[in-house]
């Protein structure tokens, strides 16, 4: 049975989310029973007694203490745990050592973006948004499924129009689709966006779309420049 450690109070929410994601992944890799319990909450609401009640034992101690935690933030903890637990068993490292949560909390927290222009730039310290994952799904084209640009656009635009409930309903199929295309998902960043969705849906949606198109255009430009460079070095290559 996995030992569950309560994290120390963190001054930075994203750092806490990153520690939480590592703990969920570590727990799922070592404790099949906990993984099954977390997976049952996939696509379920917080008050779904039949499927979610077992998750409280694992997750409740991670919720911020001493302040009123919004339903949106609580749901982010539960939803992301279920999404991670729903991954194929082979994606978890069974020999991974027990996560030292207290040590993880001592890491210097990454700086949050000061403005939306910075937040819209891929690769910033705030993490990779879901827009980055969609762009990578198109660009990588690996895994069990190739994602077309038009498909990625349609799915991403659909997500940005959802209420919080609608977003959570679409996430299981979205994450499964991205995983099948070998796209990496930044679950800590996703947690932050889910927690803020009711108050900042427009800004988060804009960031996702800007990240998606920026990442895609940058990759295509780099590929075109590389092809031009190769052709310049070997003008007979294309003949």
Neighbours of 72 (CB within 10 A): 15
Q: Which tokens go with 114?
A: 């000061």
CA distances from 156 to 13, 102, 143, 178, 195 (A): 25, 36, 20, 11, 18
Quote the pLDDT of residue 103. 42
Q: CA 89: distance to chain centroid?
A: 18
- Per domain, the residue ranges of the chain are 1-110, 119-230
Q: Which tokens go with 73?
A: 């933030």
Any idea what the Cα angle at residue 179 is, between residues 214 and 23, rounded to 5°? 100
The pTM assigned to this predicted structure is 0.78
Quote the pLDDT of residue 107. 37
CA distances from 116 to 28, 66, 157, 206, 218 (A): 35, 30, 19, 9, 19
Dihedral angle of Cα 66, 67, 73, 79, to the nearest 10 degrees:
30
Superfamily name with CATH number, domain 119-230: CRISPR-associated protein Cse2 (1.10.520.40)
Quote the pLDDT of residue 233. 65
Residue ranges in the chain whose pLDDT is less than 70: 1-11, 66-67, 93-125, 141-146, 222-239
* Residue 229 phi, psi dihedral angles, 5° rounding: -65, -40
pLDDT 10s digits, 100-109: 544 434 433 3
CA atoms of 74 and 79, how far apart (whole Å): 9
Quote the pLDDT of residue 90. 81
């Amino acid at each position: 049975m996995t030992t569950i450690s309560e994290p120390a109070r963190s001054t930075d929410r994203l750092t806490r989310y990153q520690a939480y994601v590592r703990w969920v992944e570590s727990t799922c890799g070592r404790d099949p029973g906990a993984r099954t319990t977390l997976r049952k909450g996939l696509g379920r609401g917080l008050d779904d007694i039949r499927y979610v009640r077992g998750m409280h034992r694992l997750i409740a101690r991670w919720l911020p203490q001493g302040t009123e935690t919004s339903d949106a933030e609580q749901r982010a903890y539960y939803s992301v745990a279920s999404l991670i637990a729903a991954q194929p068993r082979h994606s978890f490292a069974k020999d991974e050592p027990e996560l030292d949560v207290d040590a993880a909390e001592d890491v210097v927290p990454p700086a949050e973006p000061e403005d939306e222009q910075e937040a819209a730039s891929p690769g910033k310290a705030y993490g990779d948004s879901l827009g980055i994952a969609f762009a990578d799904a198109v660009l990588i084209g690996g895994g069990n499924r190739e994602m077309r640009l038009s498909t990625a656009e349609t799915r991403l635009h659909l997500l940005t129009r959802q209420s919080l409930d609608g977003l959570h309903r679409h996430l299981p199929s979205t994450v499964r689709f991205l995983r099948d295309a070998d796209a990496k998902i930044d679950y800590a960043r996703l947690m932050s966006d889910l927690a803020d969705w009711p108050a900042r849906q427009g800004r988060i949606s804009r960031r996702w779309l800007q990240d998606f198109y920026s990442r895609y255009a940058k990759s295509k430009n780099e590929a075109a420049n590389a092809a031009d460079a190769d052709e310049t070095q070997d003008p007979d290559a294309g003949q």
